[in-house]
Amino acid sequence: MLQSVRGTHDLLPEAQAKHNTIVAQARSISERFGFAEISTPIFEFSDVFKRTLGEASDIVNKEMYTFTDRNGEEITLRPEGTASIARCFISEGLAQKIPLKLFYQGPMFRYERPQKGRQRQFHQLGVELLGVASPFADVECLTLSTEILRELKVLDKAQLEINSIGDTESRARYTESLVKYLKQNQSSLSGDSQKRLESNPLRILDSKDAGDQALLKNAPVITEFYNEISKNFFNTICSTLKNLGIAFHVNPFLVRGLDYYTHCVFEYRTKDLGAQDAILSGGRYDQLIETMGGPSTPGVGWAAGIERLAMLSPLQPSLPRAIAIIPVHASIEQQAFELCYKLRVQGFSCEVGFSGNLSKRMKRASAQNCRAAVVLGPDEMARGEVMLKDLDSGEQKTIKIDNLSAQLSGFKL
């Protein structure tokens, strides 16, 4: 029997409705903050990600879905959204339109071990603010993320952690000191961290290995290496968040797994999803677009996993309740479908029961949470009448078909 590919899942109607609700809420709030929606292709030339995410990143090394198309081009299904939007910024010549505030949502792909809240095809929503070097752009993105989580009723289940990995100069001095310390204790590092020591040492700070975590307790801390620019940038973000009443925790070991980040990085984390604790992550990436061959353009943004938000959010989709159109005899089924179509054109949500006697169709209408039933009988139709039943109260009455729309408009659908 055919099965879905491991690490993928079907969004059945109920799950899809909640997915849509979360996206709609996030989109609406983002628009309130001045962000406009953008969509990019789900696959790109592989260099879009290799040049931006870093050859030493786990995504490039282990997780990208890459293939060669029929023209011999190397193509990758997008593992994240920022690099695609940066490519779009360059190829579409958007530099003249900065500052740009963009919202996006859609499927992403990573070859990972499937776990709760983490699939190989997953969905993200996110924002990017391009062309603003001020720390207040970071605050703008952070306040937007906070408001989205608040309105999804997830904020009380999450904690905001922030850190600064400094500018290029600060980070270089810190990396040198960190590598020196770790090399003195290299034999105590986990296998993965020993590999990262040569290729991406800052990622060791994010290790979940107990031995690595114990070793890092005595490691140099990045705050000791900030220059005045980095210090002032981060202090502005922290003081503004405090003034706005947004709670956060400074975590000096928080880093992001992608090479393009600089200055402020942040995550909203939860304890309600087990090991997959990050529900929203992001940061600043001032060199990304220039690295890709575009003009020097500062940027900051974040992305959130829709599946994880759906697990945490108690919000339920608000679906319109349908009107059931029920013919009592096969001879008037065509008339039932014609009436159903006319009502749909007028803006009503309607369904025609395709089979079964009157009793079965009425039960099905109740099971589908229909608001009312319009029953069509041959004699009534000959007189231009139908029977209208309120499925909440049980009240029913015979009315003229010409008055049906007005009668239905009185129902709370």
- Please tell me the predicted confidence (pLDDT) of residue 233: 96
More confident residue, 94 or 220: 94
199 within some domain = no
Same domain, 244 and 124: yes
The last residue of a domain, from among 277, 312, 347? 312
Domain count, the chain: 2
Banded model confidence at residue 56, pLDDT cuts 50, 70, 90: low
- For residue 265, give the CATH number of its domain: 3.30.930.10
Same domain, 249 and 279: yes
Choose from 186-190, 242-246, 250-254 the range with maximum mean pLDDT.
242-246
Same domain, 354 and 280: no
Same domain, 290 and 388: no
Same domain, 308 and 365: no
Closest CA to 309 of 128, 110, 83, 158: 158
Same domain, 134 and 20: yes
107 within some domain = yes
In tens, the pLDDT along 182-204 reads 888 777 888 888 888 777 787 78
The last residue of a domain, from among 282, 312, 342? 312
The last residue of a domain, from among 274, 293, 312? 312
112 within some domain = yes
- Please tell me the predicted confidence (pLDDT) of residue 31: 98
Share of the chain above pLDDT 90, in %: 58
List beta partners, residue 121. Answer: 109
Is 317 in contact with 289 (CB distance < 8 Å)?
Answer: no
CA distances (Å), origin 284, targets 110, 243, 281: 22, 21, 11
Same domain, 265 and 405: no
233 within some domain = yes
Average model confidence (pLDDT) across the chain? 90
Same domain, 110 and 38: yes
Domain interval for residue 27: 13-167+227-312
CA distances (Å), origin 351, targets 112, 185, 308, 387: 42, 69, 33, 16
Same domain, 35 and 97: yes
In tens, the pLDDT along 16-53 reads 999 999 999 999 999 999 999 999 999 999 989 887 66
- Please tell me the predicted confidence (pLDDT) of residue 261: 81
163 within some domain = yes
Same domain, 370 and 257: no
- Please tell me the predicted confidence (pLDDT) of residue 92: 96
- Please tell me the predicted confidence (pLDDT) of residue 413: 64
- For residue 328, give the CATH number of its domain: 3.40.50.800
- Please tell me the predicted confidence (pLDDT) of residue 55: 57
- Please tell me the predicted confidence (pLDDT) of residue 255: 77
| Sole residue written with tokens 């890092």 | 216
Closest CA to 110 of 68, 38, 53: 53
Same domain, 150 and 255: yes
- Please tell me the predicted confidence (pLDDT) of residue 329: 85
- Please tell me the predicted confidence (pLDDT) of residue 91: 96
206 within some domain = no
For every residue of the chain, which 3-state class applies, written as one string? CCCCCCCCCCCCHHHHHHHHHHHHHHHHHHHHCCCEECCCCCEEECHHHHHHHCCCCHHHHHHCEEEECCCCCEEEECCCCHHHHHHHHHHCCHHHHCCEEEEEEEEEECCCCCECCECCEEEEEEEEEECCCCHHHHHHHHHHHHHHHHHCCCHHHEEEEEEECCCHHHHHHHHHHHHHHHHHCHHHCCHHHHHHHHHCHHHHHHCCCHHHHHHHCCCCCHHHHCCHHHHHHHHHHHHHHHHCCCCCEECCCCCCCCCCCEEEEEEEEECCCCCCCEEEEEEECCCHHHHCCCCCCCEEEEEEEHHHHHHHCCCCCCCCCCEEEEECCHHHHHHHHHHHHHHHHCCCCEEECCCCCHHHHHHHHHHCCCCEEEEECHHHHHCCEEEEEECCCCCEEEEEHHHHHHHHHCCCC
Average pLDDT (367-376) is 90
186 within some domain = no
Same domain, 236 and 353: no
